[in-house]
Structure formats: structure tokens, C-alpha cells
């Protein structure tokens, strides 16, 4: 009996390939857990009875002001002013993820638009936009941020703007390169010969073909943005205390040598940061493999089943 | 199914128990290089321009004043004025208006043409440089009205162009009426009014005599530094900006002429750019000997005491922390001008929490007035009592409501984003918010906090800040109530750098004047107590804590005696055991 042959959609195929990648699956699971933790931060606070900014000066600190190690009451211990580290990590996840996602999406939108326009029109438009990208890439980021904060004072929106401003260029370059080759393809010529306008060609013909790089690079930008936010907060230029952020928590641990006594102040936020960025990077890799099986490298050669056949 | 075993591995801190080697009855050893570690470099070589308090240790090694303090472990001896360039500590004559000093023989300048005796004219020249128009000493305010004719002298100097030639000729041609030099070894100070802390004022590094050669350079200019003329036991051998200052023995200094400094080590290296953690590690490993501008982190102290380290000592310098309240801005329609609101702030703050934050009672005590522990004028009083100093949010809310702010107030509080600053600010925020104040914290880089934000009066006027956590150490230890009261709590029409919102109270000023002029120290103390109570009745600040400085040093340092005016061990009295 001939095996049943089933038509599978492209999305379906991608998901199947993605789920077959064990590393990708683990990362995805971690990210899902993290997202749940971030969304449920209020719930965690309610469960433990500790808000993110409540200072437990009796139970969370020794009489001489030292934080207490992980225990039943404080799962991950307390920080230097007696706040529950676990609850702060959960709220910190909220800020890290929010900034990571929002910044990457915004940066992707800008990068795609500019890359598309530059690649499609070419000529002086490309030259000008190309130089703009070069300019942005050549600005020393931290120095620029330091001066901005000195003028405007640290805030979430400022951090976000800076991250977006400095991270869209990678996406812009990639997209521009892709568009340069896509616009010479037959379907674009066909569209043009049928009288389609620039706008229509860009958005209905070219853009859908850019799906894979956009998804992959946006995912890869998330960890970069998270690290960027953590760096800013670590330098005291990002999230304003007492709001928790992972970078800020690490900075507080580094302050006054407190980490030499309280290892948990470095371990947990550091681990959170490490695992999150690692997960997003692995997920990005897995997405690339799943979206673009042709470009799978040595692993692809081993694939036994032809794509699309179960 | 697997059994889940929750293993809680709390590796208790591995406490390296160090066997303490007996260091009793060791003889003083001469020689070696003392390595002093700091974050910032020595900011001033010249005693005239404003310098950080840490520079006191440097000035101790390279300059001498008429009066100074002994390095000692005894808190009383630490703050007892001793004769340095003067032969003896004189008592005032003429109802406290005249002080006559005899200079010690053998105290020399390391002048370019060989050792030269320090004479009375040098002492007067030191005072003459204080109000130079190029860069004046803030401490001149202590002397201007006090010494006869000094105010006139300074008024004249203000008219002079700030060039080397103009300033030199003014200094050489103009005399200060109240500083007389009848002979080379006699200086007579005449005062406008009796001041019982005049002897203390003469311990300030700004009163260092000046040799005639320094008039050829602008104060603390690169030329001044290149041609540095020391009169202490050490002089500058080399200086690499932002990196290191190396001191070597001053050949002109004679040990017999100096009762306070023993100068055991041959040279002193002051190394800049070391972070606190690294410095503490270097001290523990023996790569460094002493700290310059680095405060020993409380956590480290607690870990060291757990390890049984005996090289920890404490020093009460009269340092305190407080919150300054901005009464000059239009924020919240000037709500902070209402004494009720400021009293509410005083009730709201949890001082016990601040003490706990800085490491507990060993490091700090709650403070309720402007004069901290260790200052003549400090007394136990509590105008805004709260249970166990933990704050009384209910009382604060009542007062706020009474003042017309039942829904609380929104206040901006910048903080110095370094060391304990962020933790302290958040602790304060927590207790203030409980009392109905909505506190917006503004992290400010340490390098901007004092120079650009707080001491710039425009920022106060424009309402850039409503509250600032701040600290104060008097310019000299002991009888230093004036050095706390005058710069911070008096206003004579000219804005003072450290009176952040032009606070002034005539009643307090009058009593302070009496306290300064009486010769009876017990009475002076009572009067200062009154000043404290008057100021706190209409509080311009929320006093937080009296601080104790914790000192630490490396293993090879012996005879580590605190020098109160430097806030650290005395470089000129330590010796190295290897």
C-alpha cells in the first residue's frame, strides 16, 4: 500500500524542522518559561508576599546590613538592601525582555525599511543611506550614551532609543544586499512590465521573500539588545532604581565589594542574562536552519527524509 | 520515579584563619617605600586652592603648620592641638584677642639654594596668598572677619589682576594689619573678636607658611608643582598626572625640629587609579600598604573581622550624613519652604535603616542634630522622636496634611551613583514613600554630583533637585562646630558653596558668635547645643548618621596611628617591618 502523501504548508514544515532541533527546542522552552515568569511576575510577588521593591530589613538583612543567602523565605537570597532577589529577577526579566523585544522589532522595522529603499532604488539613494549606516556604525556607542544621559537623565525610553538607533544598521545592510539580488529576479521584472509601481513591487513582491532573514536577524538582535540594556543599567545609565533590571542588579552586586560576600547576587542575575542571550542565539540558529533548509550546512547532508514527505 | 533530594549546599564562607604573628615591642625601623593606593590622584600640591579632605595626609608629609595634631590611637590625643612650627601652643592674651607664636629653630624650607629657616614673614605670606584672585581658598572665610585688617586686605586683592606679577607685587607691598612680625621668629595675630577655636584654625593646611619663591608661580600651576618647596619631612620626587606621586626625603628637614613626625620610611608612593576592591586585595596580599581616598567597604570589614584580622581600627572625625532640603525652588509651589513639611521629612526617615545599611553601630549612629559625635557641641537630643529611630510615617503624614498636602508630595532626589549612594538613596526612598512622599530618584555620576549638581546654586533655584543625600566632614577635628555651622548653615548675602539652599537663622548666628568667643569651653558646648536646637526647630536638613571611619592597612605596616586631620593613618609615623 502506498504511504499516504499529505500536502504540508510552509509554516507547518518550518515548525516541524524547528521542533526536530533539540537545542532549538530547549532554548525555546527556556524562553517560554522566561516569558511566563515575566508576565507572571506579579503573581510571583503575590505568592511570595514580597514585592520587587519591598525591603525586608529584619528578615532579609543581618543587623549589620549584610544580605541573607538563599533560603525557604528568599529562594535566591536577598540583595544589599534586603529585597527578594527571586522576585526582582522576575521583574527584571520583564524589563529585559520588553526592551529586548521592542528594541529589536523597532530596529528591524527601521533596518528593513532603509535596507529595502536603499537596495531597491540604488544610485544616490543607496549612496546616501549607505553613508548614514556607516556613520551610525562608526559612533562610539557608550560614549554617546554617556553624553546623552548627562543631558537628559537616564530613563527607559532613552535607553530604548539608543539601543534602536545603534542596532538597526546590521539589519539594514543584510536587507539591502538581499534586495539588490532580488530586484534583478524575473518575478520583479514581470511585475514591472505589468506596470506595478515601486511601492507595490517593494512590498508585495520583494518583502515577502525577505521573511527568513528578517525573522532570523530580529531574533538575533534580541540578545544583543538585552545585553546592551544590561550594560547601560550596569553603568547606571539605564533603568532608574529601585526598578529592577538584571544589569542594575549586577551593578549593585559589584558595588562596595558586596559580591565577595554574597555570591548569589552575581550568580543568579548573571545566569539569567547568560541563559537568556544564549537561548535567543541558539533559537536564532535553529530558526535559520528551519526556515532555510538548503543552507543547512553539513547537517543537511545527513537528512534522510526528503523535505515535505512524512 | 526518581527521588528528589533537595540538597542545599551552603558552603559556609571559607574563613581563612590567619595566624597572627606577634608584633609586640618591635623597634622602629627606618627605610623602605610606603605604597599608598587611591582611586583619584592627589588633587592639590598647593595648600591654598580647595582640596579634598584626603589630601590632608599628603600635606601632613610635605608641609608644616604652626599647630598640628599628633598621630595617636587615643581619641582625646588625636584632637589635642600640638605645637608644630610653633615652639609651644600659646594661650590668648588681651581678652582672647592676641596670640603670639615663637617659631621653632631648625624648621627649614627646602629652598632651591639650600635649606633656609622658616621665618615669621613666611607665615604672614601664607595668609596673604589665601584670597588671591586667581584661585582663592574657601577656608579664607574663617579668617577674613576674624583677623584684624584681613577683610580689607582681601578686598584690595580682589581688585588685582590674576597674573603672577600683579599678585606678587600686591602680596609683597600690602600688609595684613592683624598679622605682625616683630622679629624673624615671632608672629603675632590680632583678632577682631575672641575665637576659642583660633588655635584649631591654625591646624588647617591653608595656614601653611609660604616661601618667597612661590610668588613667582600661579597657585598650584604646573610651574608651582615643578618647583615645589617642601617644609615637611618629604618632598616630591616625581609626579605622573593621574598615575603616581612619589615622595622622597626632604634633605632640609631636621628631625629634632619636628616633634610630630618621625619619618621612618624613605619614600612614599601614592598610586592613583586603583579600584576599591583591587586596593583591598593588594593590601591583603601585601602589594599595597595603605589607602588614600578609598573607604573600606563595610562588607569587607565584616569579612575581615570574621577572619580575626586585627588591622582594623576606627576613627571618629566628626563626619556625618544628612539630607539637604531645597527651600529656594518653586517646585510644588515652594512646599519645602513650609517648616511643617520639613519636619514631616524629619519624622519620616528611617535612620536605623541607614545605620544598618552602612554596616551597623560600629560604623554609624543615628544623628538628630547638625553636630555629629566627636564634635564639641554634640549632644543627645531628639526634636522629632520616632520609635527606635525607625521613622514615624503616621506622624509625618499628619504634619503633611496639616501643611496642606494630604495627598503627599512628589520630590526629586538625585543621588551620587557610587559606593553606597544607590543603596542609601533607595533606603531613604522606601521610608519617605511610606510617609506619603513620592520620591523620584535621579542617579548622578559621582564626578558630577558635588561639582556640577549640588554646589551649583542655579540647580537649586531651578528646582533640579528637592532633596539630596549629602555628607559633611569638618575641616579640622574636635572643636570644629564652627566648621560645620558656618559653611553650611549661615548666609550673609553671598551664596556659600556648601549652604545648598541659603539657610540662615539670625538667632542661631548670634548664639554661635557667643559660643565662639567664650573662653569657657563648657559654656561654649552648651551654646553650640542651643544652636543645634534652634537650627533643628526649623530644619534645613534631615540629619541621618554620625559616621565612624574604618581604617585598614597592609601587613608590613607598623605603628599605624590615625591622624585625625588626614582621616587615615599617618604616613610620617608608620614604619615597614620588611
Each residue of A268-305: pLDDT tens digit? 999 999 999 899 889 888 888 888 766 554 444 444 44
Residues of chain B positioned with their CB less than 8 A from the CB of A153? 442
Residues 415-434 of B with CB under 8 A from A: 417-420, 422-423, 425-427, 429-430
Mutation pick from B283, B299, B300 vs chain A, by most beta carbons of A within 10 Å, is: B299
Instruction: Give the nearest partner residue to B443 out of A61, A63, A240, using CB atoms.
Output: A240
For strands B557-558 and B575-576, give the pairing.
Answer: antiparallel
> What pLDDT score was predicted for residue B561?
92
Residues of chain B positioned with their CB less than 8 A from the CB of A147? none
Please tell me if residue B306 touches chain A, with a CB cutoff of 8 Å.
no
Residues 507-536 of B with CB under 8 A from A: none
pLDDT digits (tens, 9 = 90+) for A23-78: 888 999 999 999 999 998 888 888 888 888 888 888 888 888 888 888 888 888 89
> What pLDDT score was predicted for residue B11?
32
Q: Which residue of A has its CA nearest to B306?
A: A261
Please tell me if residue B359 touches chain A, with a CB cutoff of 8 Å.
yes
> What pLDDT score was predicted for residue A213?
87
CA angle B387, B389, B394 (to 5 degrees): 55
- Cβ–Cβ gap A55/B426 under 8 Å: yes
User: What phi and psi, each to the nearest 5 degrees, are found at residue B374?
Assistant: 85, 0
Kindly tell me if the per-residue pLDDT of B13 is higher than 60. Answer: no
Residues of chain A positioned with their CB less than 8 A from the CB of B359? 64-65
Q: Is the pTM above the cut of 0.90?
A: no
Residues of chain B positioned with their CB less than 8 A from the CB of A252? 422-423
Query: Could you give the CA distance from residue B101 to residue B97 in angstroms, rounded to a whole number?
Result: 13
Please tell me if residue A156 touches chain B, with a CB cutoff of 8 Å.
no
> What pLDDT score was predicted for residue B301?
84
Q: Which residue of B has its CA nearest to A75?
A: B8
Going by C-alpha positions, the residue among B343, B335, B317 that lies closest to residue B548 is B317
Q: How many contacts, defined by CB atoms under 8 Å, are there between A and B?
A: 87
Please tell me if residue B441 touches chain A, with a CB cutoff of 8 Å.
yes
Please tell me if residue A55 touches chain B, with a CB cutoff of 8 Å.
yes
Residues of chain B positioned with their CB less than 8 A from the CB of A261? 13, 299, 302-303
Residues of chain A positioned with their CB less than 8 A from the CB of B9? none
Instruction: Give the nearest partner residue to A236 out of B359, B429, B443, using CB atoms.
Output: B443
Please tell me if residue B10 touches chain A, with a CB cutoff of 8 Å.
yes
Kindly tell me if the per-residue pLDDT of B153 is higher than 70. Answer: yes
Q: Which residue of A has its CA nearest to B418?
A: A255
Residues 188-217 of A with CB under 8 A from B: none
pLDDT digits (tens, 9 = 90+) for B240-259: 988 999 999 999 999 999 99
Query: Could you give the CA distance from residue B569 to residue B258 in angstroms, rounded to a whole number?
Result: 18
In chain B, how long is the greatest CA-to-CA distance? 100
Mean of per-residue pLDDT scores for chain A: 84
Confidence of residue A195 (pLDDT cuts 50, 70, 90): confident
- Cβ–Cβ gap B298/A153 under 8 Å: no
Chain B closest-CA separation from residue A32 CA (Å): 24
pLDDT digits (tens, 9 = 90+) for B203-245: 999 999 999 999 999 999 999 999 999 999 999 999 998 899 9
Q: Which residue of B has its CA nearest to A264?
A: B10
What was the ipTM of the complex prediction? 0.76
Chain B closest-CA separation from residue A271 CA (Å): 18
The DSSP H or E segment spanning B240 is strand B234-240
Chain B closest-CA separation from residue A123 CA (Å): 46
Kindly tell me if the per-residue pLDDT of B423 is higher than 70. Answer: yes
Residues 265-304 of B with CB under 8 A from A: 276-277, 280, 297-300, 302-303
> What pLDDT score was predicted for residue A294?
64
- Cβ–Cβ gap B425/A53 under 8 Å: no
pLDDT digits (tens, 9 = 90+) for B262-316: 999 999 999 999 988 899 999 989 899 999 988 888 888 888 888 888 888 888 8
Residue A242 preceded by cis peptide, ω within 30: yes
- Contact assessment for residue B498 and residue B540, using Cβ atoms and an 8 Å cutoff: no
pLDDT digits (tens, 9 = 90+) for B357-374: 888 888 899 999 999 988
Q: Secondary structure of chain A in the HEC alphabet?
A: CCCCCCCCCHHHHHHHHHHHCHHHHHHHHHHHHHHHHHHCHHHHHHHHCCCCCCCCCCCCECCCCCECCCCCCCCCCECCCCCEHHHHHHHHHHHHHHHHHHHHHHHHHHHHHHHHHHHHHCHHHHHHHHHHHHHHHHCCHHHHHHHHHHHHCCCHHHHHHHHHHHHHHHHHHHHHHHHHHHCCCHHHHHHHHCCCCHHHHHHHHHHHHHHHHHHHHHHHHHHHHHHHHHHHHHCCCCCCCCCCCHHHHHHHHHHHHHHHCCCHHHHHHHHHHHHHHHHHHHHHHHHHHHHCHHHCCHHHHHCCCCCCCC
Residues of chain A positioned with their CB less than 8 A from the CB of B441? 240-242
Please tell me if residue A49 touches chain B, with a CB cutoff of 8 Å.
no
Query: Could you give the CA distance from residue A157 to residue B113 in angstroms, rounded to a whole number?
Result: 64
Architecture of domain A23-297: Orthogonal Bundle (1.10)
Please tell me if residue B463 touches chain A, with a CB cutoff of 8 Å.
no
Please tell me if residue A148 touches chain B, with a CB cutoff of 8 Å.
no
Residues 41-100 of B with CB under 8 A from A: none
CB atoms within 10 A of CB A263: 15
Residues of chain A positioned with their CB less than 8 A from the CB of B422? 236, 241, 252, 255
Confidence of residue A135 (pLDDT cuts 50, 70, 90): very high
Please tell me if residue A51 touches chain B, with a CB cutoff of 8 Å.
no
Kindly tell me if the per-residue pLDDT of B18 is higher than 50. Answer: no
Chain A closest-CA separation from residue B439 CA (Å): 11
Instruction: Map out the domains of chain B with their CATH numbers.
Output: 2-274+551-576 (3.40.190.10), 320-547 (3.10.105.10)
Amino acid at each position: 500500500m502506498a504511504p499516504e502523501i499529505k500536502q504540508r504548508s510552509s509554516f507547518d514544515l518550518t515548525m516541524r524542522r524547528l521542533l526536530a532541533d533539540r537545542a532549538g527546542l530547549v532554548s525555546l522552552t527556556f524562553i517560554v518559561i522566561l516569558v511566563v515568569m515575566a508576565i507572571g511576575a506579579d503573581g510571583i510577588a503575590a505568592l511570595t508576599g514580597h514585592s520587587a521593591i519591598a525591603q525586608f530589613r529584619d528578615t532579609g538583612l543581618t543587623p549589620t546590613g549584610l544580605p541573607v543567602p538563599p533560603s525557604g523565605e528568599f529562594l535566591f537570597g536577598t540583595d544589599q538592601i534586603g529585597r527578594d532577589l527571586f522576585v526582582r529577577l522576575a521583574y527584571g526579566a520583564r524589563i529585559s525582555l520588553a526592551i529586548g523585544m521592542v528594541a529589536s522589532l523597532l530596529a528591524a522595522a527601521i533596518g528593513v525599511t532603509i535596507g529595502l529603499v536603499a537596495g531597491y532604488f540604488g544610485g544616490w539613494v543607496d549612496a546616501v543611506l549607505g553613508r548614514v549606516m556607516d556613520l551610525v556604525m562608526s559612533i562610539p556607542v557608550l560614549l554617546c550614551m554617556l553624553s546623552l544621559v548627562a543631558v537628559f537623565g537616564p530613563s527607559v525610553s532613552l535607553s530604548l532609543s539608543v539601543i534602536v538607533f545603534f542596532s538597526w544598521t546590521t539589519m539594514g545592510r543584510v536587507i539591502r544586499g538581499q534586495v539588490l539580488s532580488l530586484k534583478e529576479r524575473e518575478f520583479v521584472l514581470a511585475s514591472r512590465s505589468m506596470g506595478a509601481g515601486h511601492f507595490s513591487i517593494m512590498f508585495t513582491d520583494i518583502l515577502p521573500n525577505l521573511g527568513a532573514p528578517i525573522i532570523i536577524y530580529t531574533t538575533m538582535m534580541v540578545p544583543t539588545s538585552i545585553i546592551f540594556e544590561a550594560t547601560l543599567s550596569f553603568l547606571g545609565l539605564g533603568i532608574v532604581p529601585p526598578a529592577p533590571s538584571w544589569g542594575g542588579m549586577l551593578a549593585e552586586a559589584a558595588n562596595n565589594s558586596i559580591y565577595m560576600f554574597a555570591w548569589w547576587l552575581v550568580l543568579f542575575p548573571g545566569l539569567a542574562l547568560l541563559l537568556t542571550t544564549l537561548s535567543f542565539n541558539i533559537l536564532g540558529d535553529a530558526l535559520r536552519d528551519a526556515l532555510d533548509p538548503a543552507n543547512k550546512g553539513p547537517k543537511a547532508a545527513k537528512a534522510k527524509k526528503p523535505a515535505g514527505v512524512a | 520515579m526518581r527521588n528528589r533530594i533537595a540538597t542545599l549546599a551552603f558552603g559556609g564562607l571559607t574563613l581563612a584563619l590567619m595566624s597572627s604573628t606577634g608584633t609586640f615591642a618591635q623597634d622602629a625601623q627606618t627605610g623602605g617605600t610606603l605604597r599608598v593606593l587611591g582611586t583619584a590622584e592627589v588633587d592639590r600640591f598647593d595648600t591654598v586652592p580647595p582640596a579634598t579632605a584626603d589630601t590632608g595626609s599628603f600635606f601632613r608629609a610635605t608641609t608644616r603648620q604652626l599647630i598640628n595634631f599628633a598621630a595617636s590611637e587615643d581619641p582625646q590625643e588625636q584632637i589635642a592641638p600640638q605645637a608644630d612650627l610653633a615652639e609651644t601652643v600659646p594661650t590668648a592674651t588681651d581678652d582672647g584677642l592676641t596670640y603670639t607664636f615663637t617659631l621653632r629653630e631648625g624648621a627649614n624650607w627646602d629652598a632651591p639654594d639650600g635649606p633656609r629657616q622658616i621665618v615669621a614673614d613666611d607665615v604672614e605670606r601664607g595668609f596673604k596668598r589665601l584670597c588671591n584672585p586667581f584661585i582663592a581658598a574657601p577656608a579664607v572665610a574663617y579668617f577674613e572677619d576674624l583677623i584684624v585688617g584681613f577683610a580689607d586686605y582681601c578686598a584690595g586683592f580682589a581688585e588685582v589682576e590674576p597674573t603672577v606679577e600683579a599678585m606678587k607685587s600686591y602680596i609683597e607691598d600690602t600688609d595684613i594689619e592683624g598679622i605682625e612680625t616683630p622679629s624673624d621668629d615671632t608672629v603675632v595675630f590680632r583678632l577682631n573678636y575672641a575665637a576659642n577655636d583660633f588655635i584649631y584654625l591654625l591646624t588647617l593646611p591653608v595656614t601653611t607658611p609660604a616661601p618667597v619663591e612661590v610668588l613667582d608661580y600661579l597657585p598650584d600651576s604646573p610651574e608651582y608643582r615643578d618647583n615645589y618647596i617642601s617644609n615637611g619631612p618629604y618632598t616630591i620626587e616625581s609626579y605622573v598626572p593621574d598615575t603616581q606621586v612619589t615622595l622622597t626625603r626632604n634633605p632640609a628637614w631636621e628631625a629634632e625640629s619636628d616633634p610630630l613626625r618621625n619619618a621612618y620610611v624613605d619614600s612614599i608612593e601614592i598610586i592613583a587609579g586603583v579600584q576599591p576592591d583591587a586596593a583591598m586585595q593588594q593590601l591583603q596580599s601585601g602589594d599595597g600598604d595603605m589607602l588614600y581616598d578609598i573607604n573600606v567597604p563595610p562588607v569587607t570589614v565584616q569579612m575581615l573581622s570574621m577572619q580575626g584580622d586585627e588591622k582594623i581600627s576606627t576613627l571618629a572625625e566628626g563626619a556625618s550624613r544628612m539630607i539637604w532640603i531645597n527651600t529656594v525652588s518653586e517646585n510644588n509651589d515652594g512646599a519645602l519652604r513650609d517648616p511643617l513639611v520639613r519636619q514631616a521629612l524629619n519624622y519620616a526617615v528611617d535612620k536605623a535603616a541607614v545605620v544598618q545599611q552602612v554596616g551597623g553601630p560600629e560604623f554609624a549612629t543615628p544623628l538628630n542634630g547638625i553636630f555629629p559625635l566627636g564634635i564639641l557641641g554634640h549632644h543627645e537630643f531628639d526634636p522629632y522622636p520616632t520609635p527606635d529611630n525607625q521613622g514615624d510615617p503616621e506622624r509625618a503624614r499628619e504634619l503633611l496634611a496639616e501643611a496642606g498636602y494630604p495627598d503627599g508630595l512628589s520630590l526629586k532626589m538625585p543621588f551620587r551613583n557610587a559606593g553606597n549612594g544607590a543603596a542609601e538613596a533607595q533606603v531613604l526612598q522606601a521610608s519617605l514613600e511610606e510617609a506619603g512622599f513620592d520620591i523620584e530618584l535621579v542617579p548622578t555620576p559621582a564626578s558630577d554630583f558635588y561639582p556640577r549638581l549640588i554646589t551649583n546654586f542655579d540647580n537649586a533655584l531651578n528646582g533640579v533637585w528637592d532633596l539630596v543625600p549629602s555628607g559633611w566632614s569638618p575641616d579640622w577635628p574636635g572643636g570644629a562646630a564652627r566648621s560645620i555651622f558656618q559653611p553650611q548653615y549661615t548666609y550673609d548675602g553671598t551664596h556659600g558653596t556648601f549652604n545648598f539652599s541659603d539657610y540662615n537663622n539670625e538667632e542661631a548666628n548670634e548664639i554661635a558668635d557667643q559660643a565662639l568667643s567664650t573662653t569657657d569651653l563648657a559654656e561654649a558646648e552648651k551654646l553650640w547645643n542651643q544652636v543645634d536646637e534652634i537650627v533643628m526647630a526649623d530644619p534645613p536638613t534631615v540629619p541621618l548618621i554620625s559616621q565612624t571611619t574604618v581604617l585598614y592597612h597592609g601587613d608590613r605596616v607598623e605603628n599605624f596611628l590615625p591622624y585625625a586631620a588626614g582621616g587615615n593613618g599617618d604616613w610620617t609615623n608608620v614604619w615597614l617591618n620588611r
